[in-house]
Chains A and B, each alone.
Chain A
Amino acid sequence: MERHQQGHIETLRARIARLRPGAPAQQAQAVRRFGVTAIDARLPGGGLVCGALHEAAGTGPETEHAATATLFVAGVMARCNGPVLWVLERADLFAPALANAGLPPGRVIFVEAGREALAAMEECLRERGVAGVVGETSQRVSLTASRRLQLAAEASGALGFLLRRSRQFDDPRLAENSAAVTRWRLTALPSAPPVPDAPEVPGLAAARWQLDLVRCRGGEPATWIVEAPDAQGHLRLVSDLSDRPAAADGRGGAGRHVPDRLRA
């Protein structure tokens, strides 16, 4: 793509962004970077925009417990400075795992909201002084409901993450329209041996995930293969793939294609 065309598109995107309802017009929006260039470069603004709603879910059987998505979100929240509210539907979250992903217990206030998780999340998102809000729900989230959350996040500047769960594998409801700025899908992949040169040595290395950005406002869907967040909440791009020149290809580092049914 020619450089001047690129410049045009950037200007147009900025104009569109300003025209969106509730968008803070001049103010540059704060972003939370992943610290992984390959991912940040694909996100408009260079990271996850604060004051916006994002969404994460697992795929296949992981849709129900969403353990990988939980750790992914915990890693993002670990890099927000300030208190984090975690709205639970059921009390099955095990806090020590959040600490392992970089989110120490002192920073998180849990709210068990049952069926009212979305309302509780909105209440939390409206509060100034909250750095991040995670809302878990297994219910249908209508476009209106997600818009409300998005507006609440815009008002306070908090980073909102909707953690979608469902008893049904790859629930079609998870692919319904949503006002979320980015939507992520996580799939576990077989991990590398803990000692690369000796695959027979038992043990577990860092978990490996396929990270699908299935929707991104102002950006393209993409797929990466990453290792689970470390104790500081940092993801790591799996090196043998990040080295490939294929990153220039329109579909992201691994050159994988996002399944159509997941695209919003």
Chain B
Amino acid sequence: MAAASAEARTAGVTPGMPLASAQALVPDLHTVQAEPEADAEALRRLAVWCMRYAPLTAPDPPDGLWIDATGCTHLAGGEEALLQDLLMRLKHAGFEARAALAEAPGAAHAVARYGTQPAAVVAEGGLREALAPLPVEALRLSKETCEALRMMGLAEVREIMARPRAPLVRRFGSALALRLAQALGEQFEPIRPLAPPDLIERRLAFVEPLSTADAFATALEALMRFVCARLERAGLGTRRLDLHFERVDGSVQTLRIGTARPSRNVAHLTRLLRERLEQVDPGEGVEAMRLVAHTAEPLAFAQIDGLPREGEHSAQDLAGLVDRLANHFGQERVYRVTAVESDVPERSARRMPPLESGKAVSWPEEWPRPARLLTPPQPVMALAPLPDHPPAAFTWRRQRHRIRRACGPERIAGEWWKRDGEALAVRDYFAVEDDRGRRFWLFRHGDGQDTATGDFTWYLHGFF
């Protein structure tokens, strides 16, 4: 069990419990597969959303968020109001949350998780009082350290604070002292903000909310010119641009484009974004647009070549085209293919980014490979003398093909190091030609002698 709902917890189900025990407690327990990656992504999105309160936010996996609200609380009407507003909005969005605001991130972390109130503001200079009644777990220590502390009778933070630190460090390592110092604000603890603060960005707020694609295009051009000028001054090019639309109703829509190579070409980048402006749902209207250049990379000044030479084309020339295609069809749908050392034919080709500098490797040529693959291979009716003869004929889609010539078998054993099920799997491939000259790629499951290697059924896998 990775997590349990409030109802489950009242029934006695706790995180960390084996599924079988949980189901013994609650026979009709509703379980969902845990998706840590999806959770992390959701947390990241939530951290982005929290930028409405302060510019520096960061996810704190598995279940926390940092907001550096220094100097930003007055915008929400004070510290209390900020927390209440945050919790209220999260609750509306369906999140169960607790929040705390303190001088030191460590203290806020502890109070949010182990404090008595769902929203707590630790007054200035009140760190010690706030931390004192909390259990030692609040200090972000390892499980072993906490258990050892409890064995010594130190169950609360106040008891640790009261003791001299040196013997504690000797007994429990420097982590304890560090965490305590961080919680008390004696040691500065940086949080790694989600978006680096030196992003090149530009925000444009409108007097009247905009809602047409034409208007967006005009604003986009102004934003892009500014951002590209900044990039040029810094000698950078961007590979990812986010265009945020802040709607009147408070929600934010984002268009994201990526480029295969760093770029700061106004016309090119504007065109990539403009194609997608139609997708924006303006709702009641958009009151501000923000263009953010992410992943800026060094990009030297380019000499404009006045004399393009015949027959001399570099991959650079294609960057514009590749970007347009990739942004229209999706990054993963524009690719080159390179060889991978794998005997299993489907795995022998790997996709790679279209303009990546790495060389695409070709395949060994000793065996013929079909031009078209059937995915998945389709079963065919075939009869063949065992163990290693090609079939005399096969039937596919109710059509019988008499085989005149064949090449094979090419034995391909499963890659047992990848999956257990492949340990014994064997395929015998044949390139065959029927009496009309059409060529097919057939294989038989199994080596023809031992049924453990496959059930000797035949499949059609491709066409030459």
Instruction: Name A's B-contacting residues (CB within 8 A).
Output: 61-62, 65-68, 70-71, 74, 81-83, 85, 92-100, 104-106, 108-114, 116, 120, 123-124, 127-131, 187-191, 193, 202-204, 207-209, 231
Contact = CB atoms under 8 A, between A and B. Distances in A.
B413 to A, nearest CB: 19
Contacts of B308: 128
Contacts of A120: 325, 328-329
Q: Is the interface of B mostly helix, strand, loop or mixed?
A: mixed
Contacts of A110: 334-337
A67 B325 contact: no
Contacts of A100: 363, 365, 368-369
Contacts of B337: 95, 105, 108, 110
- Indicate the member of A68, A105, A189 with the most B CB atoms within 10 Å: A105
B363 A99 contact: yes
Nearest to B346: A94
A127 B321 contact: yes
Contact of A105 (B345, B362, B462): B362
A207 B311 contact: no
B311 A81 contact: yes
B166 interface: no
Contact of A204 (B328, B335, B368, B438): B368
A105 B360 contact: yes
B439 A207 contact: yes
Given A94-B372, A99-B363, A128-B317, A105 B336 contact: yes
A123 B362 contact: no
A204 B406 contact: yes
A94 B360 contact: no
Interface residues of B, number: 53
Interface in B400-437: 404-407, 431, 433, 435-437
A157 to B, nearest CB: 9
B374 A92 contact: yes
A61 B433 CA distance: 14
A129 to B, nearest CB: 4
Contacts of B338: 105-106
B404 A190 contact: yes
Given A105-B360, A109-B322, A109-B334, 6 more contacts: A61-B438, A93-B371, A105-B362, A124-B321, A129-B318, A208-B437
Contacts of B361: 105
Contact of B349 (A96, A129, A130): A96
B370 interface: yes
A121 to B, nearest CB: 11
Nearest to B462: A94
Contacts of B313: 82-83, 129-131
Interface string B340-362: 00000100110000100001111
Contacts of B407: 202-204
A104 B361 CA distance: 8
A94 B373 contact: yes
B349 A94 contact: yes
A94 B321 contact: no
B218 interface: no
A27 to B, nearest CB: 12
A262 to B, nearest CB: 17
A61 B439 CA distance: 12
